[in-house]
Chain A
Amino acid sequence: MLEIATVFDFTRDAVILVVGLTAVLASLGVVLCSSPIYSALYLIGHMICLALLFLLYNAEFLAVVQIIVYAGAVMILFLFIIALLGGKKEIQENSFHRSMAITFVFILLGELYLSATVGPTKQIQGEIPAEMFGTAKAIGLELFSKHIVAFELASGLLLVAAVGVICLAKFSFAPLRRRTR
């Protein structure tokens, strides 16, 4: 007679494994695909897999935010730019860039080895009660009490970047004269 709990745990682990593997495969697709549109699509797939992983670890709010911000807003701008610039397939050739990429792969493998030697990951010890974990309230309390300075600084930085982009886009050429009433 099988224990139902073990079956459930096993299923959960299997689902996590499948989602994680899909995330890795999608990220490989981003690098290995020669067409920019497909690369962007693989990246979207990777983001969705990450959101699913957050969801599987009960971080519901984080999962939704991951989809809204990265898979929704950021990647749509990527596709926008690809559409404007006309995404052409790049020609594969041996070059300096390729040797650079191989070096990066080895560095990443080294990091993987390092993280494997550190040992299994542990749960973060904190004062967040279990029923509030992963909710918007928990994240909001953390962000706006402990990390308020860093949070506000980051928002200021983003605002400066946005204003800078508007300045660059607005004044680099003579503005179009258009009749608008």
Chain B
Amino acid sequence: MTEIFDMTWDFIVLFLNENVPLIVGSVKAVVIAVGVMSVVPALVWLERRLMGRFQVRLGPNRVGPFGFGQPMADTVKLLFKESIIQASADKFLFHLAPAVVVVTAIVGFAVIPFGEPFEVFGQSIELWGANVNSGILFVFAISGMGIYGMVLAGLSSNNKYSLMGGLRSSAQMISYELTLGLSALSIIVLTGSLSLIDMVQAQEAYPFILVQPLAFLLFFIAGIAETNRAPFDLPEAEQELVAGFHTEYTGMKFAMFFMGEYINMVTMSALVTILFLGGWNAYGLPVWPIVAFAGKVIFLLCVFIWLRSTFPRIRYDRLMTFGWKVLLPLCLLNLMITGTIKVIWFP
């Protein structure tokens, strides 16, 4: 008996010694997933407070200091709400859809680097979930999978408003994904790498927004459309579609769609920071790299909220016209100019 125990113990010790990267990776995965999910209530609070200020009212300020308790109270309310599923819905897909949205949103964050590596106990701890060689493509692939959540929600609800919302979301996200990818391509041309970490390291001297202002603008606009935020929140236009693809959802499943949206917002802000604002490079400011990164991301999140409370929602056909006839040609032009300059002057 003791022999078997000793053998198992030896095996476990050996396994742990051989697999430190595996353990570090698992811990990082858990930390990133929990961290990303706990950003959501804070972001809801920030959005409601800021929106209040933009619209010359106070926003939530009754529950706790500065209304900090409001998101917690909302979460508890949503958790304890009755979950209603109408009889004509496809039960399996109805349950699957919000899970797809949240899981893809969290997985997409796995390759985002948010700081320089540092040493702990002789182990180099890198501040990113995974160093994927084609990191930026990975983010695009995962965000593409996130569309399925909305389409499935629209299809399974058996409701014409939901279906319209789902269709709109898929059409919109496919159209704007092109702009997103092509404007990121000019950065890929500049750095010559698909890895997000290489991109941040290439911006040590100056951020790419200075050399690629047009690409930055296009990427940010496409990013807002990709996360379904106002003024591009056509999939859930209240006036025409009740609430779009999540009309039939209640309780926590309803909240999961919002979780997905807010996590996507954070991922998109992080991506803009990495591609155009220099990632964790502080450019002379005496702050930690991770603080510089977080500061830029929070600033971009505030811009997201600012845009939502400033612009009215645009009409659906204009959204498509804008995407295909304005943004996409501009993107191609920018890419061609960037490529030409790169080939001629910096071979």
Are B134 and A64 neighbours in the complex by a CB distance under 8 Å? yes
B171 interface residue per 8 A CB criterion: yes
Give bound CA distance, A80 to B154, whole Å.
11
Which residues in B have their C-beta under 8 angstroms from that of A65?
137
Tell me if B79 counts as interface (CB < 8 A to partner A): no
Task: State in angstroms the CA–CA spacing of A136 and B11 once bound together.
Answer: 38
Rounded to whole angstroms, the CA-CA distance of A37 and B11 in the bound complex is 47
A135 CB to closest chain B CB (Å) equals: 6
Residues in B neighbouring A41, C-beta threshold 8 A: 93, 152
A4/B15 in contact, CB under 8 A: yes
Asked if B167 contacts A64 (CB within 8 A), the reply is no
| B24 is an interface residue with CB less than 8 A from chain A | no
**Do B14 and A4 touch (CB < 8 A)?**
yes
How distant is A106 from chain B, measured CB to nearest CB, in Å?
33
Q: Are B137 and A83 in contact (CB under 8 A)?
A: no
Interface size class of B (residues with CB under 8 A): 20 to 34
Which of B7, B14, B145, B154 contacts A72, CB < 8 Å?
Answer: B145
| Interface status of A23 (Cβ within 8 A of chain B) | no
Q: Give the Cβ gap from B291 to chain A, nearest Cβ, in Å.
A: 31
Q: Indicate if A178 sits at the interface (CB-CB under 8 A).
A: yes
Tell me the dominant secondary structure on chain B's binding face.
helix
Interface code A48-59, partner B: CB below 8 Å = 1, 0 otherwise? 000000000000
User: Across the interface, which residues of B come within 8 angstroms of A79, CB to CB?
Assistant: 148, 151-152, 155, 170
Residues in B whose Cβ lies below 8 Å from that of A135: 133-134
| Neighbouring B residues of A76 by C-beta, 8 Å | 144, 147-148, 151, 170, 174
Contacts of B134 in A (CB 8 A): 60-61, 64, 135-136
* Residue contacts A-B, CB under 8 angstroms, 13 given: A41-B152, A60-B134, A64-B137, A67-B145, A72-B145, A73-B144, A76-B144, A76-B151, A80-B151, A135-B133, A135-B134, A178-B317, A180-B317
Chain B residues engaging chain A, CB cutoff 8 angstroms: 7, 10-11, 14-15, 18, 90, 93, 132-134, 137-138, 140-142, 144-145, 147-148, 151-152, 154-155, 163, 166-167, 170-171, 174, 194, 317-318, 321
19 additional contacts (CB under 8 A) given A64-B137, A83-B154: A4-B15, A61-B194, A64-B141, A68-B137, A68-B141, A72-B144, A73-B174, A76-B147, A76-B148, A76-B174, A79-B151, A80-B151, A80-B167, A83-B151, A83-B167, A84-B167, A87-B155, A135-B134, A136-B137
